[in-house]
Amino acid sequence: MKKVLTIGVSLFIAFAMFFAVQPTDKASALSYDGSNPVSTGCANDAVTKSYSYITDSHDNVYGKVELKWSAKCRTSWGKITLYHAAPYDKGAYYANARVYSYTSSGTYRTTYSCGDRGGNGAIMKGQTSCYTAQVYNGAGYIAKAKGYINWDIASGTTGWY
């Protein structure tokens, strides 16, 4: 009986420790908000959870936008890849991506673009890709990404994940 009680107490402590650690893990993951997915190492296990082609009103395809996700870091970020190098800069850039973060109940949380700190800079003349800073995308959160060329030429938006 003493052995059964000891095993029961041990299991209780193990479960208690598991749930006690969860908020710390979430806080740690939230600390990745706005950070660079490459320099943090989060990009090392990245997978594409959703993508969309970047098209204009005439169905010309310029590239694609991806919603990247890291299981290790529980973060997401947007990445845009053009099929041809940007032919010019219009204003501050030619193309950009943006990642949007919401709670799973639909409350807006934050957004970052390639040009924000944590991203690698918007696409300029001669370049073909950029990625945004990352957002927490673990339990209770969802994200999507949008890629666009000068806002009004062409765009694409991923699904939610």
DSSP 82-126: ESS-----BTTBSEEEEEEEEETTS-EEEEEETTSBTB---B-TT
Domain residue ranges of the chain, discontinuous segments joined by +: 1-30, 33-157
Those residues with Cβ within 8 angstroms of residue 140's Cβ, 6 or more apart along the chain or in another chain:
103, 104
> Residue 149: in which H helix or E strand, if any?
strand 141-149
Q: What is the pLDDT of residue 25?
A: 55
Rg (CA), the chain: 20
DSSP annotation of 41: S
The CA-to-CA distance between both ends of the chain, in Å, stands at 48
| Prediction pTM value | 0.82
Show the low-confidence residues of the chain (pLDDT under 70). 1-29
Q: What is the pLDDT of residue 28?
A: 59
Q: Domain 33-157 maps to which CATH number in 2.40.170, 2.60.40, 3.30.1490, 1.10.3470?
A: 2.60.40
Calculated CA dihedral for residues 28, 31, 37, 41, nearest 10 degrees: -40
